[in-house]
Amino acid sequence: MANITIFDHPLIKHKITLLRDKATGTKDFRTLIEEIAMLMGYEALRDLPLEEIEVETPICKTTAPVVSGKKLAVVPILRAGLGMVSGILALVPSAKVGHIGMYRDEVTHIPHEYYCKLPDNIGDRTIIVLDPMLATGGSAVDAVNLIKERGGKHIKFMSIIAAPEGLKALSEAHPDVEIYCGNLDEKLNENAYIVPGLGDAGDRIFGTK
Ligand code: PRP
Ligand code: URA
């Protein structure tokens, strides 16, 4: 049974509403994507490994935990996932970053891979895959397949808006992946866009059409 978290925090809801607004311009859109990723990351990274270090307080020497950031791999799905990376790196600056390039065919909506570069020792890392949109789920399912083929095991997937169709597809294909969604929307339309959604995330982040 897949482990799915749909966020209900008021700050995340508020910021997603601003993202949806077609009047929100590129600069604010980027900032919101980054902020939401950071808020979601705070929860999604709850089980990050810790290591003990020695520290000297004004009172005495002791050992205390620090996040083992080198054990985290952040993997955005290009392009739109790139917008979420800085939000996660603000929390864990020493995380390694991989990239998976995917685009959806405009007619068939089938994803095509064009790039994949992952950090070394991927099997030893917690991997957090980033993409603001989980629509049909095709891109997410294929991205996780690629990561698993290269040895990735402990995988989390984070999207800001999901459609029921995409959530079902990803959780059925990869029941071991922990899924985090900022909001579960109503449905897909005939062009496989999320309704009500926010439009084309990549175009809105990068100011393209
Ligand atoms: C968008 C989005 C996801 C994908 C989701 O990317 O960022 O990667 O579509 O759709 P799916 O769940 O139906 O696969 P797109 O293919 O538009 O590429 P882009 O980010 O480069 O614009
Ligand atoms: N990709 C997007 O950017 N938006 C959608 O609604 C669906 C796929």
Q: Which pLDDT does position 2 carry in this prediction?
A: 74
Residue type, 48: L
Q: Whose CA is nearest to atom 5 of ligand 2?
A: 193
99's tokens: 């990239």
51-71, pLDDT tens digit by residue?
999 999 999 999 999 987 678
Q: How many CA atoms lie within 13 A of 41 on its CB side?
A: 27
User: Which numbered atom of ligand 2 lies nearest the CA of 188?
Assistant: 6
Mapped onto helix, strand or coil, the DSSP state of residue 155 is strand
Residue 3: pLDDT above 90?
Answer: yes
Ligand 1, residues 82, 85, 102: which to mutate, most atoms within 8 A of Cβ?
Answer: 102
137-188, pLDDT tens digit by residue?
999 999 999 999 999 999 999 999 999 999 999 999 999 999 999 999 999 9
Cα–Cα distance measured from residue 27 to residue 83, given in angstroms and rounded to the nearest whole number: 11
* Global pTM value: 0.96
